[in-house]
Structure 1
Amino acid sequence: MKPQSLLHKSLLATSVALLLTGCGTTAEEPAVQAEALSTSESALLFGALPSCDEPEELDEVIEHACIHAEMGPFEPVTAAALGAPVLVDVSAPHTTFNISLPRSTNSWGWAGRVSFLPDESGEFAFLLSRHRGLRIYEAATGTEVARECRYEIPAEVCGALKTTILADLEADTEYYLEFRSVLRRNASFSLIVEEAGHHHEE
C-alpha cells in the first residue's frame, strides 16, 4: 500500500505544481486584456467600458432625465467639427440637447465636439438616445478624462434613452464631449447631462 500512497502523493504534488503554474499564466491574461481594452479605446470603440455595478443607484437620475427626454425643454445644436473651435455649449441643466454631428472631412463617418462646464465637482451622468457613447477631454490640456462605467437603459425603464455613461468632473473646468458615428442614423441623437453625485468636503 505504501508504494501506491507515495505515487498518489507524487501525483498530487505534480497536480498542485501544474495548477500553480496555470494560475501564474492566467494572472497575466488580465494585463493582456487590459492592454487590448486600451487599444480599443484609442481606436474610439466607445463601448469598451465596464458595466455600472449598481445601476439601481441611477434609477432616480434616469427617471428624471427621461421626463426631459420626452417632455423637454429641447435645444437643437450642431457639434463643432473635430479640429474646429468648440462654440456649442451643453451645460444648461435639465435640458435635452438634440445633437447633429457634421460629416468628418479627415476620417470616416460623422464626428464632432460640444463644450460642457460643470458648476460643481462630482459625478455626472451623460444620458444618450443612442447606444454609442462619448469621450471626454479637458478643453485646456486635451487630456482625456476617464469614464467610470456605462449602463444600457432597458426600454421598459425609458424608451427615449438608451445609454448612460458616468464620469467624475471638476467644477469650473471646461470639458469637450466628443462623439463619433459610422452610420448617418447615429449622427443625430439626444444628450442629457445630470448630476449623479456630489463631492463632499471634509
Structure 2
Amino acid sequence: MMLKFAVKQSLLATGVALLLAGCGATVEEASPDTAAMESSEDALLNLLPACEEPEELEHVVEHACLHAEYGPFEPVTAAALGAPVLVDVSQAHTAYQVTLPKRSQFNYAGRVSFLPDESGEFAFMLSRHRGLRIFEAATGIEVAQECRYNIATNVCSSLKTALIADLEADTEYHLEFRSVLPSNAAFTLIIEEAGHHH
C-alpha cells in the first residue's frame, strides 16, 4: 500500500514538473521560497523610517528622474563580495546601470565604491524596491541610513526607492547590493546630494 502511495506521489510530482516546463515556467518561477526570501528581506528594509520631509526629497528625485530617463548612462558590473572593489559610482548626475554578479542559483551580490567630495546627506535612488547597505571602506563599519522614501510613479516612474545616508567628504564607502531574484540583480542607481552640513 505504501509503495503504491509513493509511486502516485512520484508520478504527481513528475507531472507537475512537466506541466511547468511545458508552460515555460523556470525553476525560479516555480520555487515559492525565492519570492518568500526576497519579500522577507524587503520587510527588513521597510523598518527604516519614512523620510519626514518628502517635499524636499521630491525635488531631488525629480532631478534624478531626468537622468534615469535621459542619462548620461554608465553600465557597471559590481565587484563580487570579497573581491577588490574597483568599480566607482561617484560621478554626480549619472545613471549607473548596475549588474550584480551571480553567486549561486538564487543569490546575486556585489559592491561598488562611492567617494563623496562634500560632507552631507546623500540620496541613493534605485529603480528597484530592494535597498542597499553602506560600509566605510577602510574600517568595514556599516553606516546607518536615516530614512527611506518610496517614490510614487507620478513623481518618477523610472525610480522606486530613495535611501538617505549622512556621509563624510573624502571617505570611501562601499555600497553593497544583494538580490535573490534575477529581476532585482540589474537596476539603475543614481546618487545625488540631499543636504549639506552647515
Residue 78 of structure 2: aligned partner: 79
2:112 is paired with a residue of what secondary structure?
Answer: strand
Kindly indicate whether the alpha-carbon contact (under 8 Å) linking 1:46 and 1:135 is maintained by their aligned counterparts in 2: no
- Tell me the CA shift for residue 54 of structure 1: 1.6
Moved over 6 A (4+): none
Kindly indicate whether the alpha-carbon contact (under 8 Å) linking 2:90 and 2:114 is maintained by their aligned counterparts in 1: yes
Kindly indicate whether the alpha-carbon contact (under 8 Å) linking 2:88 and 2:114 is maintained by their aligned counterparts in 1: yes
> What is the correspondence of 1:118-137 to structure 2 with a 5 Å cutoff?
118-137=116-135
Kindly indicate whether the alpha-carbon contact (under 8 Å) linking 1:47 and 1:132 is maintained by their aligned counterparts in 2: no
Residue 66 of structure 2: aligned partner: 67
Partner Cα separation in structure 2 for residue 77 and residue 119 of structure 1: 21
Partner Cα separation in structure 1 for residue 107 and residue 64 of structure 2: 28
> What is the correspondence of 1:28-39 to structure 2 with a 5 Å cutoff?
none
- Tell me the CA shift for residue 57 of structure 1: 1.3
- Tell me the CA shift for residue 108 of structure 1: 4.6
Partner Cα separation in structure 2 for residue 46 and residue 82 of structure 1: 20
- Tell me the CA shift for residue 60 of structure 1: 1.1
TM-score (norm 1): 0.75
Residue 5 of structure 1: aligned partner: none
Identity fraction in percent: 72
> Structure 1 residues 152, 44: CA separation in 2 closer, same or farther (over 3 Å shift)?
closer
Residue 26 of structure 1: aligned partner: none
Give the letter for the 1:75 counterpart. E
1:58 is paired with a residue of what secondary structure?
Answer: helix
Kindly indicate whether the alpha-carbon contact (under 8 Å) linking 1:102 and 1:110 is maintained by their aligned counterparts in 2: yes
- Tell me the CA shift for residue 80 of structure 1: 0.3
Partner Cα separation in structure 1 for residue 190 and residue 168 of structure 2: 18
Residue 114 of structure 2: aligned partner: 116
Partner Cα separation in structure 2 for residue 120 and residue 80 of structure 1: 25
Q: Aligned residues, how many?
A: 159
Alignment match of 1:175 (pick from 170, 173, 176): 173
Residue deviations 1:142-184, cap 9 Å, x none? 0000000000000111000000000000000000000000100
Unaligned runs of 5+ in 2: 1-39
> Structure 1 residues 108, 142: CA separation in 2 closer, same or farther (over 3 Å shift)?
farther
Residue deviations 1:37-85, cap 9 Å, x none? xxx98x9943331111121110210110000000000000000000000
Alignment match of 2:192 (pick from 161, 178, 194): 194
Structure possessing the higher radius of gyration over alpha carbons: 1
Kindly indicate whether the alpha-carbon contact (under 8 Å) linking 1:90 and 1:116 is maintained by their aligned counterparts in 2: yes
Give the letter for the 1:145 counterpart. V
Partner Cα separation in structure 2 for residue 93 and residue 113 of structure 1: 18
Residue 159 of structure 1: aligned partner: 157
CA-atom RMSD, angstroms? 1.8
